[in-house]
Amino acid sequence: MTQNTAEFLSLKLKLPEQGHGTMGHSLVFVEGIQSIRQAIIILLATEPGERVMRPDYGCDLNRLVFSPNDDTTAGLAIYYVRSSIERWEPRIEIMHLDATRGINAPEQLVIDLTYRVKISGEVDEMKLAVNLSGDV
């Protein structure tokens, strides 16, 4: 990895699960594709308006809670995710994005994302389940 690649991918901090490190907590550096994965999860889990100094940051997936789990809701989820990623995560290119009803949990909308890191060419995929029933 070149210096420019390292700067582009950056380093982020991760707080691991309890039971690791002093008093159950320690900080771990994540880098490269794991840093980008973590940034995407944070972006999609953040509701717009939640960050005081950056009120537009986030994704509108929360608007879908209590919506029927149908093609319209899936289309809106795809739109919300694509719009957020294209605006806030310039390090990646979306290769595939889809949303379908959960097989074993019909109240869940499963978002399937495959992306490529622009600078390194690495490909990663992730699935995110959105519970439409409002239960946490």
Give the span between the Cα atoms of 106 and 54, in whole angstroms: 34
Provide the CA 117 distance to its chain's centre, in angstroms: 14
Tens digits of residue pLDDT in 25-39? 667 788 889 999 999
Q: Quote the pTM value.
A: 0.79
- The predicted structure's pLDDT at residue 17: 53
Strand partners, 135: none
- The predicted structure's pLDDT at residue 9: 42
Tens digits of residue pLDDT in 75-114? 999 999 999 999 999 999 999 999 999 988 989 999 999 9
Q: Which CATH code fits 3-131?
A: 3.10.450.40
CB 61 within 8 A of CB 110: no
- The predicted structure's pLDDT at residue 54: 95
Strand partners, 90: none
Strand partners, 109: 101, 130
**Domain ranges, ordered by start, for the chain:** 3-131
